């Protein structure tokens, strides 16, 4: 596996400058657009400042549509081309066979298609966004890999759905975008046991925390392992941390820690990661 460095790009649309990270392997592909967007350059305010793309929150719905439109424009698509999901931390995958199909009301955590002109989108704020592309057979996918979904098999199911559209695993390029890194992802003994009981070798994704019976978990490393297990060779792990970059990226765990003395649930925006064939 080759772990590549990232580069950051900016795209300007309607006097709004928004920032996205891109993956080296995907950036080399013709007629492919992708980006791991940040929180910078949108129109939302307060805790949602500013490129919040999460629906069903206390942000103004018009702001969310504007932000999603800015993302689409930045990669050469229209807002109506965007397909997103009601993400539920599952292993469920939706395959898009028709450009007229809407997906925002469907509960799943990955999208797959072989159609051009469709932009697949995944929203995250600590969980792992993974983008996939088979350059030979022209199949793309986007997955939301939280720990629950990853344990349940969302990565394996995404690859299987791509294969059902003609993709071949040796041709699949993948990229892991900004997510919470091990230094800031503390979990308890029960969580640790649930992962390690799958395979004792998974102990390597944990280091002991300063707090008794707690560990720091390497979620993106665990996702890399899952990709390698199904035969994926090209994995760009951007190694960008959401928790420690408050001015650039949303982080739900950071918001929860900042709100720990409040009786109300922490509010936090979501950044959008997208991929589409032009």
Could you report the per-residue pLDDT of 103-121, keeping only the tens digit for each? 778 899 999 999 999 999 9
Q: Which residue, among 93, 127, 90, 129, has the nearest Cα to 113 in the 3D structure? A: 93
pLDDT for residue 264: 82
Q: Mark residue 239 as left, alpha or beta (left: phi above 0; alpha: psi -120 to 50; beta: remaining).
A: left
Could you report the per-residue pLDDT of 158-176, keeping only the tens digit for each? 999 999 999 999 999 999 9
Residue 252 has pLDDT above 60, yes or no: yes
Could you report the per-residue pLDDT of 191-241, keeping only the tens digit for each? 999 999 999 999 999 999 999 999 999 999 999 999 999 999 999 999 999
Helix axis angle, 154-164 to 219-229, nearest 10°:
40
Query: What is the three-class DSSP state of 141?
Result: strand
Peptide bond into 50 cis (omega under 30): yes
Least confident of 1-5, 22-26, 98-102, 170-174: 1-5
pLDDT for residue 32: 98
Question: Which pLDDT band holds residue 100 (cuts at 50, 70, 90)?
Answer: confident
pLDDT for residue 261: 83
- Specify the higher pLDDT residue, 59 or 265: 59
Q: Mark residue 131 as left, alpha or beta (left: phi above 0; alpha: psi -120 to 50; beta: remaining).
A: beta
In the DSSP assignment, the letter for residue 266 is P
Question: Which pLDDT band holds residue 5 (cuts at 50, 70, 90)?
Answer: very low
Residue 15 has pLDDT above 80, yes or no: no
Residue 22 has pLDDT above 60, yes or no: yes
Taking the C-alpha atoms of residue 39 and residue 52, their distance in angstroms, rounded to an integer, is 6
Domain boundaries, the chain: 7-168+176-181+237-277
The H or E element that residue 228 is part of is helix 219-229
Taking the C-alpha atoms of residue 19 and residue 59, their distance in angstroms, rounded to an integer, is 20
Residue 16 has pLDDT above 90, yes or no: no
- How many percent of the chain have pLDDT more than 70? 94
Q: Which residue, among 88, 76, 153, has the nearest Cα to 117 in the 3D structure? A: 76
Tell me what the pLDDT averaged over the chain comes to. 93
Taking the C-alpha atoms of residue 20 and residue 205, their distance in angstroms, rounded to an integer, is 28
Least confident of 3-12, 51-60, 144-153, 260-269: 3-12
Give the CATH fold of the 7-168+176-181+237-277 domain: 3.60.140
Report the greatest alpha carbon distance in the chain: 53
Question: Which pLDDT band holds residue 2 (cuts at 50, 70, 90)?
Answer: very low
Question: Which pLDDT band holds residue 24 (cuts at 50, 70, 90)?
Answer: very high
This prediction has a pTM of 0.95
């Amino acid at each position: 596996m080759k772990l590549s460095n990232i580069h950051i790009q900016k795209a300007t649309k309607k006097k709004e400058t928004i920032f996205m990270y891109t993956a080296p392997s995907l950036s080399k592909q013709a007629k492919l657009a992708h980006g791991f967007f940040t929180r910078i350059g949108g129109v939302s305010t307060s805790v949602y400042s500013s490129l919040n793309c999460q629906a069903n929150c206390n942000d103004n719905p018009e702001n969310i549509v504007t932000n999603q439109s800015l993302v689409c424009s930045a990669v050469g698509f229209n807002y109506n081309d965007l397909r997103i999901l009601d993400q539920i931390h599952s292993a469920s995958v939706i395959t898009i066979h028709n450009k007229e199909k809407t997906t925002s009301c469907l509960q799943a955590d990955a999208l797959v298609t072989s159609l051009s002109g469709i932009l697949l989108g995944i929203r995250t704020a600590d969980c792992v966004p993974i983008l996939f592309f088979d350059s030979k057979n022209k199949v793309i996918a986007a997955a939301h890999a939280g720990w629950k979904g990853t344990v349940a098999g969302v990565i394996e199911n995404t690859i299987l759905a791509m294969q059902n559209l003609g993709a071949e695993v040796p041709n699949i390029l993948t990229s892991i975008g900004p997510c919470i890194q091990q230094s800031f992802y503390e979990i308890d003994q029960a969580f640790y046991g649930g992962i390690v009981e799958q395979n004792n070798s998974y102990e390597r994704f944990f280091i002991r925390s300063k707090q008794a019976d707690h560990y720091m978990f390497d979620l993106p490393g665990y996702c890399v392992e899952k990709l390698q297990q199904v035969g994926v060779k090209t994995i760009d792990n951007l190694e960008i941390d959401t928790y420690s970059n408050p001015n650039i990226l949303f982080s739900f765990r950071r918001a929860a820690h900042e709100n720990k003395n409040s009786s109300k649930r922490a509010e936090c925006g979501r950044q959008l990661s997208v991929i589409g064939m032009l």
